[in-house]
Amino acid sequence: MIREDLRTAIATAIGALGLVAPDEISLEVPKARQHGDYSANVALQLAKQAGSPPRDVAAKLLDALSGLGLRHVERIDIAGPGFINFVLSPSWLHDLAAEVLDAGDTYGTNARMTGQHINLEFVSANPTGPLHAGGGRWIATGDAIANLLSSQGAQVHREYYLNDVGNQLIILAASLSARYNSRPFPEDGYVGAYITDIADDIRARHGDALSDEQLCELALTSIIEGIKQDVGRVGVRFDTWFSERTLHERGDVEGVLKRLRLSGHTYLKDEAEWLATEALGDTRDRVLVKADGTTTYLCNDLAYHRDKFDRGYTHLINIWGSDHHGQVKSLRAGVEALTGKPDEPEIILGQLVKLMRGGEEVKISKRAGNMITLADILDEVDADVARMTFLLQGLDTKQTFDLDLVTSQSMENPVYYVQMAHARIASIARKAVELGEVQLPLSDVDLGLLTHHREIEVLRKLSLFPDVVADAADQRAPHKVAHWAHEFSGLFHGWYHDCRVIGVEAPLVQARLWFTEICRIGLSNALGILGVNAPESMARIEDSQ
């Protein structure tokens, strides 16, 4: 990795000047091309320490650096207020090509997180109805983050927590019962059409003599089945669907209470049992056992997290909608009281999705009954379109999901732009075979012929992929990979327009065949992280304008 080589060299040069290097030597890829391939700002940072102007420091560093005989470095410039810019010869990119080919589908991966065993919990929407359209964001995001963490060597377990007990279920049961028995509808019940559908379906299959309890059980099974189907349609598989009931059945909740009592974290007040979370960073203490003797959501959730640790994970991550941010401190304080771990679980918050239809916001509410379900979306668009749309945006921005745009004008979706780049590569390969071009082994091919500025641009972008993935993994930011894929595709399309593979001189044909292969690897790996398909061909559009 050239970047690391340069960092080491800079550190050496700093040492040679008798200065102390900063903890991390920043080596950026400048936006402006004339600023070279990599740019270092250490001279500016060290000016104070050295007691001389930044440009002087830079000049001394440059002297020290040029004595090191760095590979691939064509020129080193000092520019602006004291930046040190490295201009690399194209040879480093040709080395890169070999590196990418060698790595294949592991290009962009890393072993930094090896040994970590992470439990990633996401979606976990209550099984009181089908997943709504916004839920797709959590499915796509969670899966992509899992892929990112895996790419860094971590072992990741995808988990969905099913709250299959409690109040909401009671409301669900009452709503169902009203429909099933044609009785007046309860206040605050779920009005969604799905309630009637489920009730009708159950009546058709099991008759009309069921008790409320039997009714609710059958409905719950059916709803959970539906959720699993929706998740599957998006292309995601959970390793575990964890039922909250098991916690109660096994006595885990009681066990956690005992443990907290023993460690002196609880106290009684106003006929309830409290957990002293304020001392651990919460805004105030929380109730664990209500006056009526039942446990709170937090109490059950603590038992759940205890169970996750008991299963041996080294780290827990939960992805939550920002509407739950108020629970973060309580849960973390509770987990600390329970386990002594102050930084668990890690909670990734994402802003909610705002659905637009006909230029107006559609408020989703299971109670009001105006549901737009995820299944509705998937009936209209490809899972790839949905995933890419959800993943293109950072988690801390509330996402505007325009149903009209995504469904009717889906041709504009960037996913096609990226997929088309991949399809074009496959198409070139097919054409080459068709015309009898035989791809020679890499060792017989001169990649040094890849000197077109389009090729250089593409290769340079490709070289950044591992950094982008590592960064995205660290920041739990899959959108960075989505943007990289889009940008990379743009550069590829530009190359495609200017550079032909078939029909140029034989040695160049060979070099470019390998060039397209490494592009394919990069794209395919990026799409793999996003969970988007990398097609071999695109369906031709019939009626484009």
Partner RNA sequence: GCGCUCGUAGCUCAGCUGGAUAGAGCAGGGGACUUCUAAUCCUCAGGCCGCAGGUUCGAAUCCUGCCGAGCGCGCCA
Interface positions, 163-192, toward RNA (CB under 7 A): 163, 165-168
Judged by CB under 7 A, the stretch of 319-327, 338-346, 366-374, 439-447 that binds RNA is 319-327
Determine the Cα–Cα distance for residues 233 and 222; give it in Å rounded to an integer. Answer: 16
Determine if the peptide bond prior to 507 is cis (ω within 30°).
no
Which region, judged by CB under 7 A, interacts with RNA, from 187-195, 212-220, 249-257, 321-329?
321-329
Q: Give residues 431-460 in contact with RNA (rule: CB under 7 A).
A: 431
Judged by beta carbon, residue 202 or residue 529, the one nearer RNA is 529
Q: Residue 540 carries which DSSP code? A: P
CB of 336 to RNA, least distance (A): 18
Across 518-543, b (16+ Cβ under 10 Å) vs e yields: bbbbbbbbbbbbbbbbbeeeeeeeee
C-alpha span between 235 and 298 (Å, rounded): 31
Tell the smallest beta-carbon distance from residue 447 to RNA (Å): 17
Task: State the nearest-atom distance from the C-beta of 34 to RNA, in Å.
Answer: 6
Q: At 395, phi and psi to the nearest 5?
A: -70, -25
Count of residues near RNA by CB under 7 A: 93
Cα–Cα distance for residue pair 93/459, rounded to 1 Å: 6
Q: How far is the CB of 204 from RNA (least distance, A)?
A: 30
CB closer to RNA out of 202 and 319: 319
Please tell me the distance from the alpha carbon of residue 164 to that of residue 471, in angstroms, as a whole number.
37
Stretch 248-287 residues interacting with RNA (CB under 7 A): 269-272, 283, 286-287
Q: Is 155 in the site for RNA (CB under 7 A)?
A: no
Q: Which of 25, 68, 79, 98 binds RNA (CB under 7 A)?
A: 79
Closer of 116 and 296 to RNA (Cβ): 296
Which of 460, 461, 479, 520: binder of RNA (CB under 7 A)? 479
Position 327 contacts RNA (CB under 7 A): yes
Q: Which is nearer to RNA, 48 or 206 (CB)?
A: 48
Interacting residue with RNA among 111, 291, 368, 433 (CB under 7 A): 291
3-state SS assignment for residue 33: helix
Classify burial at 314, counting beta carbons within 10 Å of its beta carbon; exposed 0-12, middle 13-18, buried 19 or more.
Answer: middle
The kind and range of the H/E element at 220 are: helix 212-233
Which span (68-76, 104-112, 411-419, 524-532) binds RNA, by CB under 7 A? 411-419
Region 481-510 residues binding RNA, contact defined as CB under 7 A: 483, 486-487, 490, 493-494, 496-503
Check binding of 392 to RNA (CB under 7 A). Answer: yes
Neighbour order of strands in the sheet with 266-269? 266-269, 272-275, 286-289
Question: Smaller CB distance to RNA: residue 259 or 454?
Answer: 454
The yes or no reply on residue 476 touching RNA (CB under 7 A) is: no
Give 304's contacts (C-beta < 8 A, 6+ positions apart): 161, 242, 244, 247, 252
Distance from C-alpha of 176 to C-alpha of 296, rounded to nearest angstrom? 25
User: What is the footprint of RNA within residues 230-249 (CB under 7 A)?
Assistant: none
By beta-carbon proximity to RNA, the closer residue of 34 and 443 is 34
- Does residue 538 interact with RNA by CB under 7 A? yes
Nearer to RNA, 37 or 159 (CB): 37
Q: Choose one: 37-45, 139-147, 258-266, 526-534; the region binding RNA (CB under 7 A).
A: 37-45
Q: In the bound complex, what is the minimum distance in angstroms from residue 390's beta carbon to RNA?
A: 11
Pairing mode, if any, of strands 83-88 and 272-275? unpaired
Residues 92-131 that bind RNA (CB under 7 A): 126
- Torsion (CA) 268, 283, 165, 376 in degrees, nearest 10: 170
Cα 92 to Cα 71, 231, 486: the distances in Å are 8, 43, 24
Distance CA 523, CA 191 (A): 45
Please identify, using beta-carbon distances, which residue of 313 and 484 lies nearer to RNA: 484
Task: Kindly identify the residues of this chain, within the stretch 333-352, that bind RNA according to CB under 7 A.
Answer: 349, 351-352
Q: What is the identity of the amino acid at 191?
A: V
Question: Please, what is the minimum distance in Å from the beta carbon of residue 312 to RNA?
Answer: 27
* Alpha-carbon dihedral 76, 78, 80, 85, rounded to 10 degrees: 20
